[in-house]
Chain A
């Protein structure tokens, strides 16, 4: 499984004003109304998911860990909307609690990927030369190994568990952010406003982190939604292989794994967690597309204006 084709090239959508002190006035905040129908639905689902995760104890009808062994493998019914599992636990409650792991994984992956990846990418793109080459080779190394294998090796290092799975997924996300940031940096580096800021005698650190970063932000924001989706899938995959969340903690991936071994006894077991994962990923992808639309339409650059009138 490979990450979705991301918007790798930064659009030249905004050329902010630079004042005499070299400070940068960012373009007007993007208009959320331009998210579009799909994007809004995506946002709504993501919000719902976060609510589920946060308020799980209030929403879940039963204790996800409570075993009622006599009620093993009951089908969907009024008392158990998603049925029960091999220990008689309510699957619906477990799915709701499973949202916690997925949401946190998405967040951690994005944060880790961004905090480590973006500075690396900007550094490489800005400084160039050997530093850039070194960083790029390192990233190539990481990218050449398929995500699932890389995550597996990291887990072997750290030991299984949901937290370590989140770390692993975060590390896997670093090269994507780094590459994206680097691409943006390379483009922006030669732009007039940057050259102008440089001419003002501003230091490189300032240039990198205020000027370039702030302007490279929009494609990176698009990437966060896409990364969150991939992170969720990767964590589920790791739990599916038994390397992520440990029993009895509910994770959508590990529930699918168990559900798979009981396909004959309880076909619904493998159905619902997968449905939920798909819905979440769909929502995040739609959100990413929505952000992309904003990026194409928002901002004050000429290209953006052109996009709006098209």
Chain B
């Protein structure tokens, strides 16, 4: 995808237009953050929107990009810019952004009249403080690698921010879209409360039970929030969450389990997010036998019944994937799906080439996402047919991540994010890191590292395309991550919930929601 930095650009990649035609209902309801459909009657103001969440958050820091915290971020905080559904940048807290001709700095003009929840006005110095926090090893959380290319952030005056980069970067808008602005005086207490500029203000948090936000009457947004309050109810059990939706306790549920989609379709508004905000995958340790041979890893590409997984594990609510990139991504390559079909005979051939006969490996899975152990079981059953034994180990999250992050595994089912943004951002996932990689340590396959570097170094669309092709080829050739299927978010809304929207990352946007009952 080309991005002209000084103005919103038009999509040029053909696949994205095709993709948009298939999005259907989701697009209609989520169409653009600012474009609202014309109303037949006046929108109702007031009420409490109850949102069912499958997990609690453990911090109010929007720089912590854990999937669990997504829903909070859009509603408590604002980012510097936003993306619409077509990944076109839109003004957020920054009204204008001008990239210097040499591509090594960007000048932001901040929106006027924005207030933090405490009443303090937003100033450039606050943005600088946020960048400083993101770059701090102790406080940066997941934003730390994202700001690695930032050399310096200054505030020439109260309404302008100048960001200087170390090298030319094609990912500038991705960074601005991910950067949420926290009120600096609240930065020390982010464990228990949050304060930003977002449409809703923090009211209370009862850990493990619920969080309540109230309308920010001073919000700068196009329509000040319609509901009085938002209550996020935490459910550790997704079945209980669905039951709460059905009994009317919750008005809206983020992440409806695939198995309930068909059942609830008639009673509720089911809004599908973007397939591929996350991609399910099999992580392979290329330094441990038998997968230290490339051919053995490539064999796995043919040994996974991707469509079977989509049908029986994901109940059809998804699509198969061979590469991690979503359909909206510039690096999306539909031909890969054709090349890597489910073919156990071919897998056996490749195993033989790698000298593997009747091998054995342990596969880790995380029970919090029941699809992961299920995918592992499918793999196990299919590999058994060609004489390869897979032993499942379902570990709780601390043990699972300890081993996965430490490279102490042979196989592991997992998923990766950042699959919709600029392709090189895939390297923010631990398994795709170009250095300090849990599996390869610092010996990451050269072809991949080079491809990432190439993609990051250029803003010329033609050169980018070449780089992306190399990137895909490298990933498929080395096959230390075997993508399986996209994770499709499904939001379930009661019929009286109107004007729900979501971002490209499938984060819920509640500022326009009204309760028509």
Contact = CB atoms under 8 A, between A and B. Distances in A.
Are both chains from one complex? yes
Interface of A: 65-67, 69, 72, 86-88, 159-160, 242, 246-248, 260-265
B259 A262 contact: yes
B239 A87 contact: no
A237 B411 CA distance: 28
Interface of B: 239, 259-260, 263, 305, 308, 311-313, 367, 370, 373-374, 376-378, 380-381, 384, 392-395, 399
B312 A246 contact: no
A87 B381 contact: yes
A261 B373 contact: no
Contact of B377 (A159, A160, A248, A262): A248
Among A66, A88, A248, max chain B CB count under 10 A is at A248
Given A69-B311, A87-B381, A247-B377, 16 more contacts: A65-B384, A67-B377, A67-B381, A69-B305, A69-B308, A69-B312, A86-B312, A87-B312, A160-B395, A247-B373, A247-B392, A260-B239, A261-B259, A261-B370, A262-B259, A263-B239
A65 B399 CA distance: 27
A246 B394 contact: yes
Contacts of B311: 69
Contacts of A265: 259, 263
Contacts of B381: 65-67, 87, 248
A262 B392 CA distance: 22
Contact of B392 (A88, A246, A264): A246
A203 to B, nearest CB: 49
14 contacts: A66-B381, A67-B377, A67-B378, A69-B308, A69-B311, A69-B378, A87-B378, A87-B381, A247-B373, A248-B380, A248-B392, A261-B370, A263-B239, A265-B259
Nearest to B307: A69
Contacts of B263: 264-265
Contacts of B260: 264
Contacts of A242: 367, 394
B485 to A, nearest CB: 14
A40 B259 CA distance: 45
B interface, over-half SS? helix
A67 B379 CA distance: 11
A265 B493 CA distance: 21
A interface, over-half SS? loop
Contacts of A260: 239
A264 to B, nearest CB: 6
A219 to B, nearest CB: 40
B260 to A, nearest CB: 8
Contacts of A72: 312
Contacts of B239: 260-261, 263
A265 B315 CA distance: 11
B344 to A, nearest CB: 13
A154 to B, nearest CB: 14
A72 B311 CA distance: 10
B355 to A, nearest CB: 27
A264 B312 CA distance: 16
Contacts of A247: 373, 376-377, 392, 394
A220 B407 CA distance: 49
Given A69-B308, A72-B312, A261-B239, A86 B393 contact: no
Contacts of B308: 69
B247 to A, nearest CB: 15
B308 to A, nearest CB: 5
A248 to B, nearest CB: 5
Contacts of B380: 248
A66 B312 CA distance: 14
Contacts of A261: 239, 259, 370
A87 B374 CA distance: 9
Contacts of B374: 86-87
Contacts of A66: 381
Nearest to A72: B312
Among A88, A160, A247, A263, max chain B CB count under 10 A is at A247
Contacts of B367: 242
